[in-house]
């Protein structure tokens, strides 16, 4: 039986009328970052595009970040907001939160890091496979925040490399989301290689 378009006329919000899967796709819309000017050839009835392996790999990496939250304080609550339904980082492919460093490539340090915790932070970072990225979230992780004290790390870049900094105390979930989008852009431009 052929697929019938889904009738959404009873929906509480205005929705576009859907079509059967595979129908109505416009050719020429498949592009990768930096590839928009390339011609897409229609060969033997199929759509093809040409690109480089690096572009393809960077595109895939940027769109499939798996975050590991290193949450030690209130910033972690903002992180939880970002992965929940209101902000929904799943829209950008980064919702697969993992608490095992072996299965994550984006460490989000959310909270105060005290001296005693710093070897743990470093060890977990080192257990993550390459390529790995780090976001320092909030005033505490970026600079020690208002803890100007001997026992608090004054910025996690004292211990591990940092790719993105999110300002604020507390930083907003949309601020964190913005940093992930900027990180994604950097990865896709090939600016981060480790």
Residue 187 and residue 189: Cα distance in Å, rounded? Answer: 5
**How far apart, in whole angstroms, are the C-alpha atoms of residue 39 and residue 176?**
36
Closer to ligand SF4 by Cβ: residue 75 or 89 = 75
* CA contacts within 13 A on the Cβ side of 21: 1
Q: How far is the CB of 146 from ligand SF4 (least distance, A)?
A: 7
Record the tokens describing residue 109, joined without a space.
Answer: 């340090």
- Give the interface with ligand SF4 as residue ranges (CB under 6 A): 73-75, 111-112, 138-140, 145, 169-170
* Dihedral angle computed from the Cα positions of residues 179, 182, 188 and 189, in that order, rounded to the nearest 10 degrees: -140
Q: Which is nearer to ligand SF4, 62 or 170 (CB)?
A: 170
Measured from the CB atom, the residue of 59 and 165 that comes closer to ligand SF4 is: 165
Query: Which CB atom, from 56 or from 120, has the smaller least distance to ligand SF4?
Result: 120
In eight-state DSSP terms, residue 126 is: H
Distance in Å, CB of 151 to ligand SF4, minimum: 15
Rounded to a whole number of angstroms, the minimum distance from the CB of residue 75 to ligand SF4 is: 3
């Amino acid at each position: 039986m052929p697929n019938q378009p889904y009738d959404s006329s009873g929906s509480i919000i205005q929705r576009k009328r859907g079509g059967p899967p595979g129908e109505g796709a416009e050719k020429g819309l498949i592009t990768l970052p930096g590839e928009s000017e390339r011609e897409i050839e229609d060969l033997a009835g199929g759509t093809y595009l040409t690109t480089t392996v690096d572009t393809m790999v960077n595109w895939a990496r940027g769109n499939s970040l798996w975050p590991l939250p290193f949450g030690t304080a209130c910033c972690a609550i903002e992180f939880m907001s970002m992965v929940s339904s209101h902000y929904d980082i799943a829209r950008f492919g980064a919702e697969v939160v993992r608490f095992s460093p072996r299965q994550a490539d984006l460490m989000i340090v959310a909270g105060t890091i005290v001296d005693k915790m710093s070897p743990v932070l470093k060890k977990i970072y080192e257990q993550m496979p390459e390529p790995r990225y780090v976001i320092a979230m909030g005033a505490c992780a970026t600079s020690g925040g208002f803890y100007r004290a001997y026992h608090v790390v004054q910025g996690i870049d004292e211990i591990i490399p940092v790719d993105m900094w999110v300002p604020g105390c507390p930083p907003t979930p949309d601020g964190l989301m913005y940093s992930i989008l900027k990180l994604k852009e950097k990865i896709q431009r090939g600016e981060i290689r480790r």
